[in-house]
Amino acid sequence: MRFGSSDKSQNCRLVQGALCEFKNCSTLKCQEVRSDIYSYFRMDRMTDNTGKQSGRRSFLKTTAITGACTVAGAVAVNAASPCLLPEEMVFEPNNSYWAKVLPPVNSPLQQDIEADVAVVGGGFTGLSAAYYLKKDGAIRGRVVLLEAARCGNGASGRNGAMMLTSTADRYMQWGGGPGLDKRIYDLTAENIRKLKELSGTLRIDAEIEQQGALQVCNTTEDAEKAREYVKKARAANFPCEFWEKERVVEALGTLAYEGAYFDPNSGQVHPGKLVGLFKAAAESVGVEIFEQTAALHVEEGERLALTTSNGRTVRARSLVLATNAYSSKLGFLRRAVTPVFDYVGITAPLTDETLSALGWKSRVPFNDCRTEVYYLGLTRDNRIHIGGGPVDYVFNNGVRQPANVEVHYQRLLAELNHIFPTLGTESFEVRWSGSVDMSLDETPGLGWMGKHGNIFYAIGFSGHGVNLTSVFGRILADLIRGRSVDWRWLPYLNRLPPYTPNEPFRWLGVQFALGYYQFTDPTKP
C-alpha cells in the first residue's frame, strides 16, 4: 500500500502516518491505522513492523532497565570517582589581613616520632584539642601537632571574625527541642568566657569582645520570622532580643535592614591573634608543634603511622583529624563536607569623622539573613571588614583559589556601599579568600572512626566555627581520654553530616544549589 494515494473508497485520503481526514471513513486501511494509533496511546498490545509484541509491559520493562542501568552507572561512577580523580593536596599561603600577626613559624619535623596523640591541622580545632589534651596533665605522653603550612593558614586565619554562640544549624533557628538548643547555646556562650580567661591568664590579647552580635533582617518577612523566633526563645530562657528597625539604625547607622536578632553572648575577635593565643597555650603545656609538615598518608592500626612531606614518620596511639576543608586530601570525611570559597575585604582605618558620620555607634558585628550571607565587623583601629555573598566551588573539592575572583570583591564593595552609602569606599586595603567546610545541612559532627576507633574528627562547622571549633577541641580531648559518656547528650556526637556524593554529581549539585540561591534571593534587583 502506498501512502498518500487514495484508497479504495473515493473519500478516503490516507496520508503518511495520519488518519484519513474523514472521521468515519470505513475503508479497511483507515480502520487499521485508527486502531493502531489508539492502541499506541493507550499503551495497549500492538504489533510492530517486525512482528514482535510490544506495549505497556515492554515499555515499562525498557524504562525499568534503562532506569536501573542509569542508577547502576551513576553508583559506579560515584564509587570510582575518588580513584579516577585524585585530589590535589595544596596549601596556598594565607594573605589575609589577620595573617600579618600570625605567630612565627616553627621548624618542620626532622626525626621520626613515637607519640601518644598526633594532631593533624594547626587551626582552632587542632590547637585547642592539643591544648586541652595536655592541660593539667590530662595526657602524660607526647602530643604532637603537624601543620602543613603554618598555624592559622586555613580558615582560622582567614575568617570574618564573628565569634558566635550555638552552631550554624541552630543560630536563630530551632534544631531540636528548646531545652537541647539552650544547652548547646550555654555551652558555646561559656566557651567565649573561657577564652577570655585564657587570654587574661596568658596575657595575650586576642581582641575577644563579647559585646553581642546582630543577625540583621533583609526583608519584612525576615523580621517577622526573627520576631517570632525571639518570642519563643525568650520563653525558653535565651537572653536574645528582637530589635526593631529604629534600634538597628541607631546601633549600626544604616537603613538597609528591617530589624534584627540580637544575641548578647556573641561577639568578635582578631582571628590571627586567637591563633597566636591557642598556639602559645598549647606550647605552654608541652604540645610539640611542627609546621611546614604535611601528613601525606595515614596507615591505620592500633598504633597509627603517619607519613609526612619531609619523609619522617609519626606513630601514635590516637590521631586527631583537624583538617577541616582539606580532610578529603588525606582520604577522610569526603562524604561529609564540600569546600567552598568565601571572600573577604577590609578597608583602611576610617578617620574619626568618617566613623562618626557613619553612625555605627554600637560597634557590634553583624551578618544578614540571606542563604549566601554577608557579614561585617569593625576592628579596634576602625577598619571595616565585609565578607560573604555568593561562594565558589572548584571541581573535585578544589582548595586552590579559582581564577577571576575580581567579581566577588566588586560585589563586596557594592554591598558595603549599599549598607553605608556615605562611605563611598572605592577599594579594599586587603582582600582574601578561604575554604569553608560546608555540610549539606549545616550541621557539624565529631567523634571517632577507623578500624581501631582511634581516629578522632571534628568537621562541618559550615562557616560558624570561630567559637565552636574550640568547644569541639575540648570535647575531642575528653573523648580521647575516654570520657565520652559526659557528651552523650550532644546531638553531634559520633554523627556525620548527610552524605554528599562524589564528582561529577557534587559539582552539578553545588552549581544547581548556587543558582537556586541566587534565583530566590529576595534582595536581588
Residues that bind ligand FAD (CB under 6 A): 91, 120-126, 146-149, 153-156, 158-162, 164, 294-295, 322-326, 329-330, 342, 344, 375, 387, 434-436, 461, 463-467, 469
Residue showing the smallest CB distance to ligand FAD in the complex: 465
Q: Shortest approach of ligand FAD to residue 450 CB, angstroms?
A: 16
User: Residue 522: is the preceding peptide bond cis (ω within 30°)?
Assistant: no
**CA proximity to 367, closest of 349, 385, 340:** 385
Choice between 81 and 310, CB closer to ligand FAD: 310
Output the CA angle 382-418-376, nearest 5 degrees. Answer: 40
Q: Shortest approach of ligand FAD to residue 454 CB, angstroms?
A: 18
Q: Shortest approach of ligand FAD to residue 473 CB, angstroms?
A: 8
Q: Which amino acid belongs to residue 353?
A: E
**By the 8 A CB rule, do 382 and 349 touch?**
yes
What H or E segment, with its residue span, contains residue 243? strand 241-244
Choice between 7 and 457, CB closer to ligand FAD: 457
Choice between 126 and 276, CB closer to ligand FAD: 126
Q: Shortest approach of ligand FAD to residue 433 CB, angstroms?
A: 7
Q: Shortest approach of ligand FAD to residue 438 CB, angstroms?
A: 10
Distance, CA of 480 to CA of 143 (rounded, Å): 12
Q: Shortest approach of ligand FAD to residue 441 CB, angstroms?
A: 16
Using the 8-state DSSP alphabet, how is residue 107 labeled? P
Choice between 386 and 490, CB closer to ligand FAD: 386
Choice between 12 and 346, CB closer to ligand FAD: 346
Q: Shortest approach of ligand FAD to residue 400 CB, angstroms?
A: 13
Distance, CA of 260 to CA of 362 (rounded, Å): 14
SS (H, E, C) 468-524: HHHHHHHHHHHHHCCCHHHHCCCCCECCCCCCCCCCCHHHHHHHHHHHHHHHHCCCC
Q: Shortest approach of ligand FAD to residue 59 CB, angstroms?
A: 51
Residue 276, classed as helix, strand or coil, is helix
- Please, which contacts does 219-224 make with residues 24 or more away whose CB atoms are closer than 8 Å? 219/258, 219/369, 219/522, 219/523, 220/258, 221/522, 222/258, 222/259, 222/369, 222/522, 223/258, 223/259
Choice between 159 and 210, CB closer to ligand FAD: 159
Alpha carbon separation from 376 to 13, 159, 275, 470 (Å, rounded): 76, 11, 20, 22
Burial of 303 (0-12, 13-18, 19+ CB in 10 A): middle
**CA proximity to 458, closest of 101, 132, 181, 176:** 132
Choice between 253 and 271, CB closer to ligand FAD: 271
Q: Shortest approach of ligand FAD to residue 501 CB, angstroms?
A: 22
Sheet strands (E) in 400-460: 430-439, 445-449, 455-459
Q: Shortest approach of ligand FAD to residue 328 CB, angstroms?
A: 10
Choice between 322 and 358, CB closer to ligand FAD: 322
Q: Shortest approach of ligand FAD to residue 290 CB, angstroms?
A: 9
Choice between 121 and 501, CB closer to ligand FAD: 121
Choice between 253 and 339, CB closer to ligand FAD: 339
Q: Where are the alpha helices (DSSP H) in 303-447?
A: 352-358, 406-419
Choice between 125 and 425, CB closer to ligand FAD: 125
**Residue labelled with grid coordinates 556525620:** 496
Choice between 37 and 296, CB closer to ligand FAD: 296
Contacts of 42 (CB under 8 A, 6+ apart): none
Distance, CA of 207 to CA of 199 (rounded, Å): 9
Q: Which conformational region is residue 431 in: left (phi greater than 0), alpha (psi within -120 to 50 degrees), or beta?
A: beta
For 23, phi and psi rounded to 5 degrees? -50, -40
Q: Shortest approach of ligand FAD to residue 434 CB, angstroms?
A: 3
